[in-house]
Amino acid sequence: MKIGVYANLDKPNVVAALPRLFSLFESNSIESVVSNKLIKLYNPGTASVNAVDPALMPDIADIIVTLGGDGTILSAARLIGDRNVPILGINLGGLGFLTEVSIEELQPALRRLRDNDYLIDKRMVLHADIATEGKILTYYALNDLVLSRGSSLRMLEMSVYIDDEFFNTYESDGLIISTPTGSTAYSLSSGGPIVAPSLHSIILNPICPHAITVRPIVISAESEIKVEIHTSQALMQMTVDGQVQAETAEGSRITMRKARFEIGLISFSEHTFFTRLREKLQWGRLPYK
């Protein structure tokens, strides 16, 4: 088994965890694949470590282990794309809703990986095509696509069509188009519903809409969503998974649908989605208990 290591090397606690990680790999006879940048920061000095360009990692590794938080998983998911390599998230960040284990739990987790004692939770991905200024740009999001007003104080205006039927013209600070995975991220903090990841659906959640009767809506993942932008380029921006700035302009048309591939997140049987809600969001914990 070859494990690829995808790490947020800008965080000191991630770099500090590397010696322990590679020590565990060596003691479990696991061959690893790392980025050229990582090997420059920390070289374990063993023949079982292969340094490659990060883009090639999913072609070589059987599993990608991420070191960081949820943002590191989102970044790794874009790297993997449709190459069907599952991700095991090691939480060295904050909340870590998508990550599966801590660095302290890695030793038993590696044994379970070696024994094939794990599950692969398939997560839906959004595919977005942006037709802007005579070209088409394509983006993929595991969490969400967000149209926002950036630093401007003015509202955005955009028309939304679902399966070519006019749905609504939003006047708001923005619009979050979310997967079920992203329903516990920005969409949740903006008043959106939590959707179990086993449900293939898309959430449309306006940010501070002008009309208070405009509420979030959950639609089928088989639907196609088209957004026409009526706001000048200087007043809006679109971000993918909170990390990538997409190129848009006034008059741009954005078409969104379920991607033809999914991202696999490795989980263990005792860590269910509902367990995460209780543990990470502290559901069911009364203040006097």
* SS3 state at 174: strand
| 9 in any annotated domain | yes
Q: What percent of the chain has pLDDT over 90?
A: 71
Which residue, chain included where needed, has tokens 């995460």?
276
Mean of all residue pLDDT scores within the chain: 91
Task: Look at residue 287 and tell me if it is in a domain.
Answer: no
Same-domain pairing of 131 and 256? yes
pLDDT digits (tens, 9 = 90+) for 107-136: 999 999 989 999 999 999 999 999 987 889
Residues 155 and 195 in one domain: yes
Are 209 and 169 contacting, i.e. CB atoms less than 8 angstroms apart?
Answer: no
Helices (H) and strands (E) in the chain, counts: 7, 18
Instruction: Kindly name the residue from 59, 70, 82, 115 that is annotated as catalytic.
Output: 70
Single-letter code of the amino acid located at 52: V
> How large a percentage of the chain has pLDDT more than 70?
97
pLDDT exceeds 60 at position 289: no
Q: Flag the least confident range among 47-61, 161-175, 223-237, 242-256.
A: 223-237
Q: Fill in the DSSP letter of residue 154.
A: S
The parent domain of residue 145 ranges over 126-260
pTM of the predicted model as reported, rounded to 2 decimal places: 0.92
| Residue 206 located in a structural domain | yes
Within this chain, do residues 97 and 137 fall inside the same structural domain, yes or no?
Answer: no
User: Where residue 179 sits, what CATH number does that domain have?
Assistant: 2.60.200.30
What lies within 8 Å, CB to CB, of 105 at 6+ separation is none
Do 112 and 46 lie in one domain? The reply is: yes
pLDDT band at 240 (very low <50, low <70, confident <90, very high): very high
Q: Could you give the number of structural domains in the chain? A: 2
Mean pLDDT of 88-108: 90
> Please, which pLDDT band fits residue 229 given cuts at 50, 70 and 90?
confident
**Residue 70 annotated as catalytic:** yes
Side-chain-side CA neighbours of residue 126 (13 Å): 34
> Do 98 and 46 belong together in one domain?
yes
